[in-house]
Amino acid sequence: MRTQIIGTGFVTGEHLVKNEDLAKLMDTSDAWIRERSGIEQRYYVEAGTATSDLGLGAAEKAIADAGIDKGEIDYIVFATMTPDHYFPGCGGLLQHKLGLKTIPALDIRQQCTGFIYGLQICDALVRSKVARTVLLVGAEVHSGFMPWTQWDHLFGREGPAPTAGEKDWNSKFRDRTVLFGDAAGAVVLQAGEGESGLLGFKLHSDGSDFKSLYVPSGGFASRPYVSDTDFKAGRHIPEMDGRAVFKMAVKRMPEVVREVCGESGYGVEQIDLLIAHQANLRICEVVQRSLGLADEKVFNNIQRYGNTTAATIPIALDEARKAGRVKQGALVCFVGLGAGFHWGAALLRA
Ligand code: ACO
């Protein structure tokens, strides 16, 4: 018996925002963003749409794709770093929004590796027979991190353009803000017979260097955990040492792909499709080269969605399946690295 992915789906925020639109708010350009990250556009939600709402949209699509009755779901795992509330987490909110009975709902927070950690948890739940049909969601509303207030202007509606001072403030965070988008992806997993299903995992964590990517304020290391001073200093916005994260990603991601393949008895060359966390197209390209994989063995879509953290892998899986890139029997490898730092890889026989 193996844990199979029987349905996938995703949704994005309502507003399509191109690189040139961001240049209305800060000192940046389409050329810079494309060259450094490969990103061309991303989506943001309308104010009031929360992570659990996007999670609901993605879950409904994955459930419809699986062709099951939602009442069959007997466990929810929800991965996000941008929950609706400090607590409770999004898992229970999604259970309620889906109108499910009081099934267990677990929240996990492994950022960009959240989906891969979630897959391992779902696999363990299914194989230990704790659950039979599990819904795994990765969802993010990153727009709450954005430092600007000129949303109407950005969305092309009537509204004030930023002043020179506001543009300077917005530009202070431009290395991070241009990368992220709002979206959710979901998969339904179920026990099944036969060759297909999840084959193996290799996960790692290392908290020693967490300050290379973290949100300094809004946590209980501070008293009070939110303060006007922190807000005015922009300490509620992630701080990131982009170069350090880049270097870590291009080292750790190929390493862990080799580990999961080796431990599961496969050669890297046997991978039919690599779906890497979409943090930066340049990172994905280095990982691909380092693993020696041909273009047809790699699926990237960051150009259209930006980095959607826990949602990138399920979105890419859904698009790849629907584009006919995940053939029956194919060996699919998922890999990611994110804040924490957490990184890992998983193998799936389609
Ligand atoms: N527009 C225009 N110029 C910019 C922008 C921007 N958006 N951002 C930075 N710059 C400027 C800088 O000010 C700097 O200018 P200077 O040379 O005059 O000082 C120059 O561009 C180079 O800046 P760097 O930050 O050194 O640029 P770098 O080549 O490192 O690229 C980037 C930055 C894209 C962030 C890259 O480091 C990266 O992608 N790192 C990985 C980040 C990542 O993946 N984070 C998410 C992890 S996933 C998770 O867990 C959430």
Report the pLDDT value the prediction gives residue 264, as an integer from 0 to 100. 97
Report the pLDDT value the prediction gives residue 327, as an integer from 0 to 100. 95
Q: Are residues 133 and 236 in the same domain?
A: no
- For the chain, count helices (H), then strands (E): 13, 13
Catalytic residue at 112?
yes
Q: Are residues 170 and 314 in the same domain?
A: no
Which residues share a beta bridge with 202?
345
Task: Determine if residue 189 is left, alpha or beta; phi over 0 gives left, psi from -120 to 50 gives alpha, anything else beta.
Answer: beta
pLDDT band at 17 (very low <50, low <70, confident <90, very high): very high
Q: Are residues 222 and 138 in the same domain?
A: no
Per-residue pLDDT tens over the stretch 237-250: 999 999 999 999 99
Per-residue pLDDT tens over the stretch 156-192: 999 999 999 999 999 999 999 999 999 999 999 999 9
Q: Which of 17, 82, 36, 14 is nearest to 279 (CA)?
A: 36
Report the pLDDT value the prediction gives residue 112, as an integer from 0 to 100. 98
Please identify, among 166, 192, 218, the residue that sits at the C-terminal boundary of a domain.
192
Q: Are residues 155 and 201 in the same domain?
A: no
Cβ distance 67 to 39 under 8 Å? no
Report the pLDDT value the prediction gives residue 15, as an integer from 0 to 100. 98
Report the pLDDT value the prediction gives residue 339, as an integer from 0 to 100. 97
How far is it, in rounded angstroms, from Cα 132 to Cα 183? 27
Compute the average pLDDT of residues 136-147: 98
Pocket of ligand 1, candidates 26, 28, 36, 80: which has the most ligand atoms within 8 Å of its Cβ, to mutate?
36
Q: Are residues 272 and 161 in the same domain?
A: no
User: What CATH number did the domain enclosing 23 receive?
Assistant: 3.40.47.10
E strand spans, the chain: 2-12, 15-18, 41-44, 75-79, 105-108, 133-140, 183-192, 197-205, 213-214, 239-240, 273-276, 331-338, 342-349
Please identify, among 192, 208, 239, the residue that sits at the C-terminal boundary of a domain.
192
Catalytic residue at 342?
no
Verdict on whether the full-model pTM lies above 0.75: yes
Domain count, the chain: 2
Q: Are residues 309 and 264 in the same domain?
A: yes
Report the pLDDT value the prediction gives residue 224, as an integer from 0 to 100. 95
Compute the average pLDDT of residues 115-122: 98
Residue-number span of the structural domain to which 264 is assigned: 197-349
pLDDT band at 228 (very low <50, low <70, confident <90, very high): very high
Report the nearest atom of ligand 1 relative to the CA of 177: 7
Per-residue pLDDT tens over the stretch 71-97: 999 999 999 999 999 999 999 999 999
Per-residue pLDDT tens over the stretch 185-220: 999 999 999 999 999 999 999 999 999 999 999 999
How far is it, in rounded angstroms, from Cα 137 to Cα 104? 14
Q: Are residues 65 and 37 in the same domain?
A: yes
Per-residue pLDDT tens over the stretch 287-343: 999 999 999 999 999 999 999 999 999 999 999 999 999 999 999 999 999 999 999
Q: Are residues 148 and 270 in the same domain?
A: no
| CA-proximal residue: ligand 1, atom 48 (nearest) | 338
Catalytic residue at 19?
no
**Ligand 1 near 286 CB (within 6 A):** no
* Averaged pLDDT of the chain: 98
Q: Are residues 292 and 207 in the same domain?
A: yes
Report the pLDDT value the prediction gives residue 248, as an integer from 0 to 100. 98
Per-residue pLDDT tens over the stretch 31-81: 999 999 999 999 999 999 999 999 999 999 999 999 999 999 999 999 999
Q: Which of 90, 112, 261, 284 is catalytic?
A: 112
Please identify, among 172, 192, 212, the residue that sits at the C-terminal boundary of a domain.
192
Cα-to-centroid distance, 126 and ligand 1 (Å): 41
Q: Are residues 159 and 207 in the same domain?
A: no
Q: Are residues 31 and 118 in the same domain?
A: yes
How far is it, in rounded angstroms, from Cα 201 to Cα 345? 6
Q: Are residues 57 and 91 in the same domain?
A: yes
Report the pLDDT value the prediction gives residue 27, as an integer from 0 to 100. 98
